[in-house]
């Protein structure tokens, strides 16, 4: 029951953070596997849920670091998708431009609806650090998205 209830939102969130639904689902599964192997350590299902989110975000950050460390330089071939897909690609590109911590904070607070204190507990940060990452992430998103909007208008 716990898995059925908690897996879909975590998989969607990680897909949003990572920019790929399949990778997000795989990461969510890995996160739940780690939670279930240590189930006896959790005081409540809510504690296990927060731990699964934190583990998932940490796995996403680790994957991001690995991929960006080995990412080749140069232009990538771009396809011309439909308008809905283009909007998602613009948003995905804007989010991928954030640091891993900014991305985690923005997704937890703005996408999943956690308050700053809960996001801080999940990410094991102090609330003021989460607020700093939120402000910087939101500012960077606004600049990036406004720039892509202006490019479309020209």
Q: Which residues of the chain have pLDDT under 50?
A: 70-83, 149-150, 153-154
Q: What is the per-residue pLDDT for 133?
A: 95
Q: What is the per-residue pLDDT for 84?
A: 58
User: Quick check: 81 and 52 in contact, CB under 8 A?
Assistant: no
Geometric angle at alpha carbon 6, from 127 and 63, rounded to 5°: 65
Q: What is the per-residue pLDDT for 134?
A: 94
Q: What is the per-residue pLDDT for 146?
A: 80
- What is this structure's pTM? 0.55
Q: What is the per-residue pLDDT for 137?
A: 92
The pair of structure tokens assigned to 131 is 């607020």
Rounded Cα distance, 124 and 26, in Å: 23
User: Quick check: 56 and 10 in contact, CB under 8 A?
Assistant: yes
């Amino acid at each position: 029951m716990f898995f059925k209830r908690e897996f879909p939102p975590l998989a969607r969130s990680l897909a949003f953070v990572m920019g790929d639904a399949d990778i997000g689902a795989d990461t969510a599964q890995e996160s739940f596997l780690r939670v279930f192997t240590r189930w006896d350590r959790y005081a409540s299902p809510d504690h296990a849920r927060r731990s699964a989110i934190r583990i998932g975000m940490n796995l996403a950050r680790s994957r991001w670091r690995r991929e960006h460390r080995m990412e080749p330089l140069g232009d990538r071939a771009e396809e011309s998708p439909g308008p809905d897909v283009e909007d998602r690609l613009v948003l995905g590109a804007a989010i991928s431009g954030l640091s891993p911590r900014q991305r985690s904070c923005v997704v937890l607070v703005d996408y999943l609806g956690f308050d700053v204190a809960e996001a801080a507990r999940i990410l094991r940060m102090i609330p003021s650090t989460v607020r700093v990452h939120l402000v910087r992430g939101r500012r960077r998103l606004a600049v990036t998205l406004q720039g892509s909007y202006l490019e479309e208008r020209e």
